[in-house]
């Protein structure tokens, strides 16, 4: 299934998790943002889906998702992802709590249920799919780490947006079972250990469902 944000959101929804109520707004808030817009120079001949937030929780998860239908009900599928993003963080930069590039994991996979978030016993918003079974560089059993946010141009003090394409490693392709209506929900997002603002643009990609 190819997807593209060249002319709109292409049916995707953006959401945010791994934070506590009250951290969303204010001068020191997360200040969530998601919008279809033109990319900054030198990529301003392209459009994409911007997702942004300031990590005030030391673990902010920003993600987009879309329902995929037409699968065989009850059949298991390997879910492989290719996605092109724009990043403004060069490799090797140092930041608060971690690198603004290498400490921001790009995760992709699918959920067997419609993605949502809810408060847990610790009063934090958590998602209803598995993306944290292993450490940050690995990810969960349904949404795996496929790369990181490093790869922009410019300098660490003044980054310039550049394109980066990530592909699911062979050992990080989740296997999920379509529901009774033949649906799964594709998910791609950033899981951050960098305690400041990340502004990522998604441009295009594809997700492949191969019977397992």
Q: Locate the domains of the chain by residue range.
A: 2-211
pLDDT number for residue 135: 47
Given a contact cutoff of 8 angstroms between Cβ atoms, the answer to whether 120 and 168 are in contact is: no
Strands (DSSP E) contained in the chain are: 2-4, 13-17, 33-38, 47-54, 61-68, 76-87, 104-111, 117-119, 125-127, 143-148, 153-154, 159-160, 162-167, 175-177, 184-192, 197-211
Residues 6+ apart with CB under 8 A from 158: none
Query: Considering the chain, what percentage of its residues have pLDDT values greater than 90?
Result: 83
Residue 134 has pLDDT above 80, yes or no: no
| 140 — pLDDT class (breaks 50, 70, 90) | low
- Whole-angstrom Cα distance, residue 12 to residue 27? 29
pLDDT score of 26 more than 90: no
**Whether the predicted pLDDT of 28 surpasses 90:** no
Query: For 90-117, what is the mean pLDDT?
Result: 94
Mean of pLDDT over the chain: 93
Whether 17 has a pLDDT exceeding 60, the answer reads yes
Averaged pLDDT, 138-165: 91
pLDDT of residue 177 exceeding 90, the answer is yes
CATH number of the structural domain 2-211: 2.60.120.260
Q: How does residue 133 score in pLDDT terms, banded at 50, 70 and 90?
A: low
Which of the residue ranges 5-14, 89-98, 106-115 would you say has the lowest mean pLDDT? 89-98
130-135 long-range contacts, Cβ below 8 Å, gap at least 24?
131/61, 131/107, 131/187, 131/191, 132/191
pLDDT in tens, 48-79: 999 999 998 788 999 999 999 999 999 999 99
pLDDT for the residue numbered 163: 98
């Amino acid at each position: 299934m190819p997807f593209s944000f060249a002319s709109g959101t292409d049916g995707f929804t953006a959401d945010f998790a791994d934070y506590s109520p009250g951290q969303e707004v204010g001068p020191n808030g997360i200040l969530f943002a998601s919008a279809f817009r033109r990319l900054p120079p030198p990529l301003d001949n392209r459009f994409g889906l911007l997702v942004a937030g300031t990590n005030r929780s030391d673990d902010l998860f920003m993600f987009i998702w879309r329902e995929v239908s037409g699968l065989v009900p009850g059949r298991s599928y390997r879910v492989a992802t290719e996605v092109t993003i724009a990043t403004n963080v060069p490799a090797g930069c140092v930041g608060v709590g971690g690198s603004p590039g290498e400490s921001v994991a790009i995760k992709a996979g699918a959920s067997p249920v419609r993605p949502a978030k809810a408060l847990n016993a610790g009063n934090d918003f958590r998602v209803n799919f598995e993306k944290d079974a292993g450490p940050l560089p690995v990810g969960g059993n349904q949404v795996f780490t496929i790369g990181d946010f490093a790869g922009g141009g410019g300098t660490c003090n003044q980054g310039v947006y550049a394109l980066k394409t990530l592909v699911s490693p062979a050992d990080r392709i989740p296997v999920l079972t379509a529901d009774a209506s033949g649906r799964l929900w594709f998910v791609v997002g950033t899981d951050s250990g960098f305690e400041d603002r990340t502004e990522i643009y998604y441009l295009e990609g594809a997700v492949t469902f191969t019977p397992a």
